[in-house]
Amino acid sequence: MLPPKSDFSEWYHEVIQQAQIMDIRYPVKGLYVWFPFGFKLRNLVYGKLRDIMDREHDEVYFPALIPETELGKEGEHIKGFEDEVYWITHGGLDELDVKLALRPTSETAMYPMFKLWIRSHADLPLRIYQIVNVFRYETKHTRPLIRLREITSFKEAHTAHRSYEEAEENVKMAINAYKEFFDSLAIPYFIIKRPEWDKFPGADYTIAFDTIMPDGKTLQIGTVHNLADNFARTFDLKYETPEGDQAYVYQTCYGISERCVASVISIHGDDTGLILPFRLAPYQTVIIPILYKGKEREVLDLSNEVFNRLKEFGLRAILDDSDERPGAKYYKWELFGVPLRIEIGPKEAESREAVISFRDERVKRKISIEEITEEKITEWADEMHERLRKRALDSMLEKVRFFDKVDEMEEWMGRGVALFYLCQSLECGKSVEEDVKAGVLGEVVEMPEEIGIDKEGKCTVCGKSGKLNAIAKSY
């Protein structure tokens, strides 16, 4: 049994283990083991991400170790990461001449190589990505999939362009790619420009995707950074222009981690376990034969017929003909989030029918076997996706509130996101953070249209002209 989802922290801790996503017993803090089922889900989610990235990027692989001399070159970058880096100081018993960092992210591994790769304008734009592990010595409370010291599935993209404008265009492309990705997970989000004091170390600016978890805290599920020519100046990344001059490149980078899997588990799941969108589910449909003495043959024959048909459609189907009682089977496959359940008993076998139910609705419906066609399944998958999207969005909207007074916001923290107007000044931003005891997420670039609040208004602190901002407690 799971704790109720209303006790989110406990529920998450349990569902991760019981639904065999991660084994949390590994003896190093912040490091966890993917179970086979969890890793299947991870691969399906990342398959979608990879398909999207492959359209505009080439996949590469860079080494996991970065020499101290490179990691330390960009001043802001190393300032931002120095507390989080794991260092390799020895090879066997020998002390290394140059310490090696376990990559916390790969800018400083990649950009010295970019210097060798980029010669002329014809080499630009350069767009690459990799999906690798990175290490961050996080000091905040670690949690499986959410705050890791080894991020196992860090999708990082890095690009180089001829001008600031082209880098800006690429930021837009990356945002659209991430929108498509999170839409495919039916995860709602805000797109928010982080304040100056919270941007990625070394970036010109940072745009984040934030979703709201069931407990009202936000989770940053992806970020897109415009690096301008900051790293290019440090790593001397120049190209020859068509006119024959030397110019610095402009860069962007953007990343997504297994937090995307955490958001699917947390946002769609319920008291009984996971609820997975049809296209991401490791098991998309389970057939459960209801066996009565003397009628086994007919029931199993029809179950197998349906099973084979589903496999022909290319679906990830299972036929659970184990000895467990039907109730135990329902319980098990609900925990694993199987979207579509098909039950076949003696009556159904006789009339060539089946009882179907969807994981999110749990309403039983009788249909004729002939209705189970590839087209129908696609339709069901789309309908379920739309239901999950709507349900996730509604529950996010319940956790968003607009405020025109700072002193009313603190009480709302921990329950959701507060929207309010804020001017650009560091002073007003910091004073809100102090009063509300939470972090300003930044300026809202895009939000669900249902929220319908103007993006401009008077700063809640000083009354000067301001932009719509968000503040919340975050993971």
CB of 464 to ligand P5A, least distance (A): 30
Only one of the segments 3-11, 237-245, 252-260, 370-378 lies at the binding site for ligand P5A (rule: CB under 6 A); that segment is 252-260
384 contacts ligand P5A (rule: CB under 6 A): no
Residues 6+ apart with CB under 8 A from 415: 216, 399
Quick one: which of 251, 257, 284, 303 contacts ligand P5A (CB under 6 A)?
257
State in angstroms the smallest separation of the CB of 390 from ligand P5A. 25
Could you say which of 38, 144, 214, 255 contacts ligand P5A (CB under 6 A)? 255
Query: Is residue 144 reached through a cis peptide bond, with omega within 30 degrees of 0 on the bond before it?
Result: no
Q: Is 156 in the site for ligand P5A (CB under 6 A)?
A: yes
Whether 133 contacts 102, CB under 8 Å:
no
Provide, rounded to whole angstroms, the least separation between the CB of residue 160 and ligand P5A: 14
Part in contact with ligand P5A (CB under 6 A); list of ranges 41-49, 250-258, 304-312, 317-325: 250-258
Which of 17-25, 145-153, 237-245, 349-357 is the region at the interface with ligand P5A (rule: CB under 6 A)? 145-153
At its nearest, how many Å lie between ligand P5A and the CB of residue 257? 3
Considering beta carbons, is residue 149 or 341 the nearer one to ligand P5A?
Answer: 149
**Residue 91 C-beta: closest distance to ligand P5A, Å:** 27
Question: Which C-beta is closer to ligand P5A: that of 206 or that of 460?
Answer: 206
Q: Per-residue x/- marks for ligand P5A, 198-237, CB under 6 A?
A: --x-------------------xxxx-x------------
Stretch that binds ligand P5A, among 87-95, 169-177, 255-263, 427-435 (CB under 6 A): 255-263
Other CB atoms within a 10 A radius of the CB of residue 453 amount to: 13
User: Which of 148, 274, 349, 459 touches ligand P5A (CB under 6 A)?
Assistant: 148
Characterize the bridge pairing of strands 94-102 and 65-67: antiparallel
Residues 6+ apart with CB under 8 A from 466: 421, 422, 423, 424, 456, 457, 458, 459, 460
Q: Residue 226, Cβ neighbours under 10 Å: how many?
A: 23
Closest CB to ligand P5A: residue number: 255
CB 30 within 8 A of CB 148: yes
Give the position of tokens 């949390």: 24
- CB within 8 Å of 220: residues ≥ 6 apart: 208, 209, 210, 259, 474, 475
For the chain, report the end-to-end CA distance as a whole number of angstroms.
26
User: What residues between 301 and 320 interact with ligand P5A by CB under 6 A?
Assistant: none
Burial of 238 (0-12, 13-18, 19+ CB in 10 A): middle
Please report how close the Cβ of residue 43 comes to ligand P5A at its closest, in angstroms.
Answer: 18
Q: What share of the chain is helix, strand, coil (3-state, %, to 5)?
A: 40, 30, 30
Name the residue among 471, 443, 396 with its Cα closest to residue 186.
396
Sign of the C-alpha dihedral computed for residues 46, 51, 57 and 59 taken in this order: positive
User: What is the pattern of x (binds ligand P5A, CB under 6 A) and - over residues 102-141?
Assistant: ---x------------------------------x-x---
Q: Which stretch binds ligand P5A (CB under 6 A): 251-259, 284-292, 297-305, 388-396?
A: 251-259
Q: How far is the CB of 222 from ligand P5A (least distance, A)?
A: 5
**The tokens of 270 are what?**
């319920």
For ligand P5A, the binding residues (CB under 6 A) are 105, 136, 138, 147-148, 151, 156, 200, 220-223, 225, 253-255, 257, 259
